[in-house]
Amino acid sequence: MNPTIDLLNSHRSIRAFTEQPVSQEIINTLVSSGQSAATSSFIQACTVIQIEDKSKRSKLAECAGNQKYVEQAPVFLVFCADMQRHKLACEMHDEEMMSGFTEQFTTATLDCGLFAQNVAIAAESLGLGVVYIGGIRNKIADVSDLLDLPDLVYPVFGMCIGYPDQAPEVKPRLPLAVVLKKDSYINVQDSTLMADYDNIIREYYRSRTGGNKEMSWSEQISGMLTKEARPHMLSYLQSRGYLLK
């Protein structure tokens, strides 16, 4: 429909990068674009930590389940939900911040999501490739220590950025009819639509792996969601001052 929408629709995660460096000027441009995203009640609750230190990169790659590209990517950013500076703002006016509300966790986390998605799009518009790294939450307490995060700051996800050295296909998404509803949540026919979609994803994996992987979306999801999901998250977040009430 236009070049920006074409860009959005051509997103795929990039996990292999050329050695071409990305200048600090470009990184600053990306982060500024991130700041331009909407922010809940203007809280601006996202802080980005750019990881240059090789030994920290290597430890982060390990925390993320040995994802080598965390070490190898020209740029690795950690997006943190940050309400520490709000505590400071309150102190500047001799006020005490009321923290710990689930609502605050939600808005600070969403601020990071909107911010990071702008960074991703800005990067892709410059011919760079990106991949989000949720895996740093595997060992989120270690990551927090490594980056000296104070209370009220938690690492939401990382992002590898660099010039692509691979050209994977775009992965087909759920049918529009499953994700767009009118006036009410009606899930009639969702299982029929999902079965059709399962066939599409099975074919996508088959063609991408030369027949070595055959898995539908519902199989993949059911395999994943019958296991515990990072059960340490709640106690970790509470220890940082989030989700206390």
Half-sphere exposure of 68 (CA within 13 A, CB side): 3
Rounded Cα–Cα distance for residues 185 and 199 (Å): 25
Nearer to a copy of itself, 72 or 220 (CB): 220
- Please give the structure tokens belonging to residue 218: 């519902």
- Please give the structure tokens belonging to residue 141: 């307490």
The least distance separating a copy of itself from the CB of residue 210, rounded to whole angstroms, comes to: 20
The least distance separating a copy of itself from the CB of residue 40, rounded to whole angstroms, comes to: 5
Nearer to a copy of itself, 19 or 103 (CB): 103
The least distance separating a copy of itself from the CB of residue 173, rounded to whole angstroms, comes to: 4
The least distance separating a copy of itself from the CB of residue 212, rounded to whole angstroms, comes to: 18
The least distance separating a copy of itself from the CB of residue 211, rounded to whole angstroms, comes to: 20
Nearer to a copy of itself, 212 or 226 (CB): 226
**Residue 44 neighbours by CB distance under 10 Å:** 16
> Among all chains, which residue has been given the structure tokens 């060992």?
139
Query: Using the 8-state DSSP alphabet, how is residue 137 labeled?
Result: G
Nearer to a copy of itself, 35 or 166 (CB): 35
- C-alpha Rg value of the chain to the nearest Å: 20
Rounded Cα–Cα distance for residues 193 and 176 (Å): 10
Closest of 172, 179, 165, 177 to residue 206, by C-alpha? 172
